[in-house]
Amino acid sequence: MDTITVAIVSLAALLVLLALKVPIGVALGLISFAGFWILLNFDVALSTIRTIPYEFSANWDLTAIPMFLLMGAIVNQSGISTALFRAARLWLGGLPGGLAVATNMACAGFGAASGSSVAASAAMARLAVPEMLRHGYDKGLAAGVVACGGTLAALIPPSILFVLYGIFAQVSIVDLLIAGVLPGILTATVYTAMILIRCRINPALAPETGKVEFRANRAERWIALAEVWPLLLLILAVIGGLYGGVVSPTEAGAGGAFVALLIAVLQGRMKLPDFLASMKEAMSATAQIFFVGMGAVMYTRFLAFSGAGNFLTETIGSWAFDPILLVLALSIVYLILGMFLDPLGIMLITIPVFLPMFQALNLDLVWLGVIMVKYIEIGLLTPPVGFNVYVVKGVVGDRIPLETIFRGCFWFLACEVVIMALLIGFPEISLFLPETMR
């Protein structure tokens, strides 16, 4: 077999193993092992598995992952999301669909302190959905906004997906993190506009009980804000520190985790067991990422060695003169993969395959990183296996059927079409902030 055939067979074998429920990290690792064995020999295959894992993990750049995860876990365990939601609701409750708008904003705030969409959706589903249902909100809207709002976490720094992408694509992680800020704000804004318009047109979606409460609680608003301002300040400090080049992503994560811990302890939200639970959450997620990640590194090396990247680029390059076409083709691939795989898996499987093409076509890798993360997050919302939808379903239980949640996400997915068109059509939205850093 020639090298290209081996590479293509390896892709097919990868999909088969995944369908057979083999863990992604194992599938990637075993296939690269077999690939090196077939293309070269057994000793080379052994030496890749001997050297790559340690090299990959004992890496300063990747230390941002456990630190971002820890910051998110501390914020999550401290229960500050309750205060965030209360503040957002007291300030935004008077708008049409005010509770849904407040939930969306609280998701953005929580996401800015945590890099995990799943954690953001789970936390907000626990708080906001019962409130919205109590006020007679449409079930689809209530569940949809937490499932979709959660995806903001992966765009607004800190973001685990951007760190991983940066490592594999060898692009500045800081650039990527900063590039996610405006698209994150854009997404939150478009979501908010959609909720406002829908609730203005059809007030039955969100009965206006919130308004009465809103007027009554003018003084309480400032009290609620007093509780969340330390966290908001920390978020600004983390983003500002990265933007100003004062701290590296790891330092922003470690310092952010430490200050978040300090705030939580001082506000009486965190005792030792909560801290240990945060650590457990962060460390097991770290180990999980590295288990998959080291397989992905081996597979990347194997594909690079086989020359599959060049082959795919030549094949595709002949029809994709226009990079926009390539990006559109990607959207199809990601939408399909997003129906079956979780975000980390999608990212780590597709990077080795797509990156050589992007590089060959001289596309901006930071911009593509943003597009890729967006697609992956959209994949969390699409049936049959929208991961975030299942997370919300797990929290709300029997109160809302799965179909209703998916239906609720439909309007947000319609927004995503607009957002993606803007992000693809105007790369400046993503690239403006990182460019001002230079």
Indicate whether 67 belongs to the interface with another protein (CB under 8 A): yes
Binds another protein (CB under 8 A): choice among 6, 10, 35, 66: 66
Q: Which is nearer to another protein, 174 or 423 (CB)?
A: 174
Could you tell me the CA-to-CA distances from 224 to 10, 41, 71, 80, 89 in Å, in that order? 55, 65, 22, 11, 10
Of residues 287-306, which lie at the interface with another protein (CB under 8 A)?
287-288, 290-292
CA within 13 Å, CB half, 78: 30
Sign of CA dihedral 59, 76, 343, 290: positive
Q: Which is nearer to another protein, 255 or 317 (CB)?
A: 255
Indicate whether 272 belongs to the interface with another protein (CB under 8 A): no
Binds another protein (CB under 8 A): choice among 51, 170, 202, 315: 51
- Whether the Cβ atoms of residue 184 and residue 141 lie closer than 8 Å to each other: no
Mark 312-341 with x for binding to another protein (rule: CB under 8 A) and - for no binding.
----------------------------xx
Indicate whether 20 belongs to the interface with another protein (CB under 8 A): yes
**C-beta of 431: minimal distance to another protein in Å?**
28
**C-beta of 343: minimal distance to another protein in Å?**
10
Binds another protein (CB under 8 A): choice among 1, 12, 19, 193: 19
Sign of CA dihedral 240, 293, 351, 45: positive
Cβ-proximal residues to 264 (8 Å cutoff; 6+ apart), any chain: 74, 75, 77, 78, 80, 270, 274
**C-beta of 84: minimal distance to another protein in Å?**
17
Of residues 344-403, which lie at the interface with another protein (CB under 8 A)?
344-345, 384-385, 387, 390-391, 394-395
Of residues 235-254, which lie at the interface with another protein (CB under 8 A)?
246-247, 250-251, 254
- Whether the Cβ atoms of residue 103 and residue 220 lie closer than 8 Å to each other: no
Burial of 319 (0-12, 13-18, 19+ CB in 10 A): exposed
Indicate whether 77 belongs to the interface with another protein (CB under 8 A): yes
Q: Which is nearer to another protein, 208 or 281 (CB)?
A: 281
Q: Which is nearer to another protein, 110 or 290 (CB)?
A: 290
Cα–Cα distance, 245 to 254 (Å, whole number): 16
**C-beta of 242: minimal distance to another protein in Å?**
12
The radius of gyration of the chain from alpha carbons, rounded to an integer in Å, stands at 22
Q: Which is nearer to another protein, 20 or 219 (CB)?
A: 20
Q: Which is nearer to another protein, 95 or 346 (CB)?
A: 346
Indicate whether 49 belongs to the interface with another protein (CB under 8 A): yes
Binds another protein (CB under 8 A): choice among 13, 23, 82, 232: 23
**C-beta of 96: minimal distance to another protein in Å?**
30
**C-beta of 209: minimal distance to another protein in Å?**
29
- Whether the Cβ atoms of residue 168 and residue 355 lie closer than 8 Å to each other: yes
Closest C-alpha to 387, from 4, 120, 56: 120
Indicate whether 277 belongs to the interface with another protein (CB under 8 A): yes
**C-beta of 210: minimal distance to another protein in Å?**
27
Query: Angle at the Cα of 330 (from 328 to 334), degrees rounded to 5?
Result: 125
Interface region with another protein, contact rule CB under 8 A, candidates 20-28, 130-138, 317-325, 369-377 = 20-28
Give the single-character DSSP code of 259: H
Could you tell me the CA-to-CA distances from 171 to 58, 156, 167, 366, 429 in Å, in that order? 19, 18, 7, 7, 18
Instruction: Tell me the site size for another protein, rule CB under 8 A.
Output: 71
Of residues 91-150, which lie at the interface with another protein (CB under 8 A)?
118-119, 122
Provide the 10 A C-beta neighbour count for residue 285: 23
**C-beta of 180: minimal distance to another protein in Å?**
22
Q: Which is nearer to another protein, 276 or 325 (CB)?
A: 276
Q: Which is nearer to another protein, 30 or 169 (CB)?
A: 30
Cα–Cα distance, 61 to 305 (Å, whole number): 24
Q: Residue 82: in which H helix or E strand, if any?
A: helix 80-92
- Whether the Cβ atoms of residue 156 and residue 184 lie closer than 8 Å to each other: yes
Indicate whether 21 belongs to the interface with another protein (CB under 8 A): yes
